[in-house]
Amino acid sequence: MRTAVFPGSFDPITSAHLDVARRAADLYDRLVIGVLSNPRKDPLFSAEERVDLIRACVSDLGSRVSVEAFDGLTVEFAAAHSAAWIIRGLRAVSDFEAELQMAHTNRRLAPAVDTVFLMSALEHGYVSSTLAREIARYGGDVSLLVPEPVIGPLKERLRPDRPM
């Protein structure tokens, strides 16, 4: 079985992330979306909340796509799922340098695991979780930035009258 992992913070998952996940799901027999619990970051949503939001976004893809939280090294997450591929999304050339460095490092740590880069669709090339959070924080329309299941929770979490 050809298994790939798609790791990320996904805080929150965006339309660009979802585009990459859907295309990766078409390429592999099994896709595991890994939600990174990064202690160095202060996420808007907990890892469990992000897992739930992503599951709602990919529910139509069936049982060959799963979502779970993880911490630690991505190559260890891949090994735990017998995955031979790590999926990384690229929006622009500016993403490539950091992603390439990470891919080379992962390859040194786990030579049997390859990184596959998928460009986000053109219409999502500008989309980021940071941008979605910023627009939501000021009450802007995020419907083109995040999938439908994320809109309500994102607006609620960042509503102006909510204590931070």
What structural domains does the chain harbor?
3-123 (3.40.50.620)
Average pLDDT over every residue of 83-100? 92
Distance CA 122, CA 129 (A): 17
Q: Kindly name the residue from 2, 41, 64, 159 that is annotated as catalytic.
A: 41
Q: What is the CA radius of gyration of the chain?
A: 16
Question: Whole-prediction pTM value?
Answer: 0.93
Find the farthest-apart pair of alpha carbons in the chain and give their distance in angstroms, rounded. 50
* Alpha carbon 98 to chain centroid, angstroms: 16
Q: Kindly name the residue from 50, 120, 129, 133 that is annotated as catalytic.
A: 129
Q: Kindly name the residue from 17, 50, 88, 133 that is annotated as catalytic.
A: 17
As a whole number, the mean pLDDT across the chain is 94
Note the pLDDT tens digit of each residue in 29-44: 999 999 999 777 789 9
Whole-number pLDDT of residue 72? 93
The reply to whether 17 belongs to the active site is: yes
* Percentage of the residues of the chain whose pLDDT score is greater than 70: 96
Distance CA 93, CA 34 (A): 24
Reported confidence tier of residue 12, pLDDT bands at 50, 70, 90: very high
Q: Kindly name the residue from 9, 50, 88, 91 that is annotated as catalytic.
A: 91
Reported confidence tier of residue 92, pLDDT bands at 50, 70, 90: confident
Whole-number pLDDT of residue 164? 52
